Structure 1
């Protein structure tokens, strides 16, 4: 998994509440088990019309936000079904950080497992960042995971909380497989001992 240390990039404003996983990646795109290739269908029903043409009013279709690295949205982001394709699509598009007042639990957990930093902040701080994000190409923010700060274009800093274990996993690029491989020596020792004491296994 790609490490997350410091991220500087464009922040896109999506001032909607209850953005569910079907809005993030509609059900017809869930046939794949690959983590790549889903970014083009992120927010598909809002980004495109029925003929597949881009909706110029949708934020990620606007020139200033096509390469957004950060997404700022409303409360209860990621609600709905527990599809892991939702963070896959967000990551594949290029977004590494989502900021909102609150998140659905399963989506929140899945973000950390896929190299995305979800940050929950009080509504007034999200409102401040949302206003900054509306500046378009001038909406470059820096998310510093080690120091747990978000710095706006004018230098304003907002601090955030993150679980220490999840912070370490993101900073070291450790997903569930990586965490298991960290215990490789202990697993080998156990397997050797188990084979010696239970040769019939």
Structure 2
């Protein structure tokens, strides 16, 4: 997966609580096992009407936020069913960081496995970033994972906590497979020794 160290981009405000995975990527789009191509269906029922036309009032349809890379949202983001397609859709759209007061556990873990940084902040800090994000094209925010800082368009700095191991994996671009491959030499040594000691297996 792609490494994540420092990200500077437009932050889109999605001021909603309890955004579930079916809202993020509706069930009719779960037929694929590919991680690409789902961005066009991100928030499908909120972005499009019954005829497939864009709803101009939805935040990601507004010109200023069409290429947003950061999403500032409400409490309990990613609740509902444990579909990995949800972070796939966010990533394919271009979202690399989601900031909220809380996340559903499975969605939170899936983000790290797909190169998305989910940041948990107190409500007061989320409110400040939500206000920053409402500036439209001027809502440029920098997320510095190494320093564990978020810098707003007015120069303000918010710090955040993150598990050191997950931080390391994101900076190095390591998912579960990548972590295993880092130990390829040790695995090969073990397999060779095991085969020599127990050739009948």
Deviations 1:72-92 (A, max 9, x none): 000000000000000000000
> What are the residue-to-residue correspondences of 1:111-130 with 2, within 5 Å?
111-130=111-130
User: How many residues are aligned here?
Assistant: 201
Name the residue aligned to 1:146.
146
Name the residue aligned to 2:19.
19
- Secondary structure of 1:49's counterpart equals coil
Deviation at 1:18, TM superposition (A): 0.1
Deviation at 1:179, TM superposition (A): 0.1
Name the residue aligned to 1:177.
177
- In the alignment, the residues of structure 2 paired with residue 94 and residue 15 of structure 1 have an alpha-carbon distance, to the nearest angstrom, of 19
Name the residue aligned to 1:51.
51
- In the alignment, the residues of structure 1 paired with residue 186 and residue 101 of structure 2 have an alpha-carbon distance, to the nearest angstrom, of 40
| Structure 1 outlier segments of 4+, above 4 Å | none
Deviation at 1:200, TM superposition (A): 1.1
- Secondary structure of 2:10's counterpart equals strand
Deviations 1:37-71 (A, max 9, x none): 00000000000000000000000000000000000
Deviation at 1:101, TM superposition (A): 0.2
Name the residue aligned to 1:190.
190
- Secondary structure of 1:28's counterpart equals helix
- In the alignment, the residues of structure 2 paired with residue 102 and residue 177 of structure 1 have an alpha-carbon distance, to the nearest angstrom, of 27
Name the residue aligned to 1:2.
2
Name the residue aligned to 1:73.
73
In structure 2, runs of 5+ residues without a counterpart are none
How big is the alpha-carbon RMSD for the aligned residues of Structure 1 and Structure 2?
Answer: 0.3
- In the alignment, the residues of structure 1 paired with residue 107 and residue 72 of structure 2 have an alpha-carbon distance, to the nearest angstrom, of 15
Name the residue aligned to 1:88.
88
In structure 1, runs of 5+ residues without a counterpart are none
Name the residue aligned to 1:104.
104
- Secondary structure of 2:108's counterpart equals helix
- In the alignment, the residues of structure 1 paired with residue 176 and residue 52 of structure 2 have an alpha-carbon distance, to the nearest angstrom, of 37
Name the residue aligned to 2:137.
137
- In the alignment, the residues of structure 2 paired with residue 133 and residue 190 of structure 1 have an alpha-carbon distance, to the nearest angstrom, of 52
- In the alignment, the residues of structure 1 paired with residue 193 and residue 26 of structure 2 have an alpha-carbon distance, to the nearest angstrom, of 48
TM (normalized to structure 1)? 1.00
